Amino acid sequence: MNSKKPAGFGIRFLASIIDFLIISSILGIVFYIINGNYSIEWTNGLIFRFFYTLYLTVVPILWGGYIIGKRICKIKIKRFKDDENVTILNLVMREVVGNYIVVLATFGISVLISGLMVIFRKDKRGLHDFIGGTYVSK
């Protein structure tokens, strides 16, 4: 990890909160236009999870490792092995498998383990980072 500058838990968590607020607001407005009322409960459903996972998977490909929250916080997703931009395979493995399927299969326990890994590991990589071959760089 000589040249790598991994981002810690706090900044990654802040970026996630920013992303959630922005994406849920945008989708909430669309939901309001379609349905005629606004409720935060819809963010617990599969439709929101699908669009949010799609956002987390596609936008970093188009934007060189950034999503809105990460861009604001000046951190980005990179490939661990060579510090290059992530590929679609990296992000499908990271987001769809690591942050969706594994979380469902472990009833959310993997989220806690991932958070602890980011806090305590020197390379600041969580389970989803290992599955995707990625890390988050400052």
DSSP tally for the chain: helices H, then strands E = 7, 2
On whether residue 4 sits in a domain, the answer given is no
Q: What is the pLDDT of residue 36?
A: 81
Q: What is the pLDDT of residue 34?
A: 84
Query: What does the alpha-carbon distance between residue 4 and residue 11 come to, in Å, rounded to a whole number?
Result: 16
Query: What does the alpha-carbon distance between residue 64 and residue 86 come to, in Å, rounded to a whole number?
Result: 7
Q: What is the pLDDT of residue 1?
A: 44
DSSP state of 137: E
On whether residue 3 sits in a domain, the answer given is no
On whether residue 2 sits in a domain, the answer given is no
Binning the chain into helix, strand and coil, the percentages to the nearest 5 are 65, 5, 25
The domain total for the chain is 1
Neighbours of 135 (CB within 10 A): 24
The pLDDT tens digits along the chain (138 residues) read 457 899 999 999 999 999 999 988 888 888 788 888 776 676 777 878 888 899 999 999 999 999 999 999 999 999 999 999 999 999 999 999 999 999 999 999 999 999 999 999 999 999 999 999 999 999
On whether residue 33 sits in a domain, the answer given is yes
- Domain span at residue 82 reads 9-137
Q: What is the pLDDT of residue 49?
A: 86
Q: What is the pLDDT of residue 35?
A: 80
Q: Residues in the chain, how many?
A: 138
On whether residue 107 sits in a domain, the answer given is yes
DSSP state of 101: I
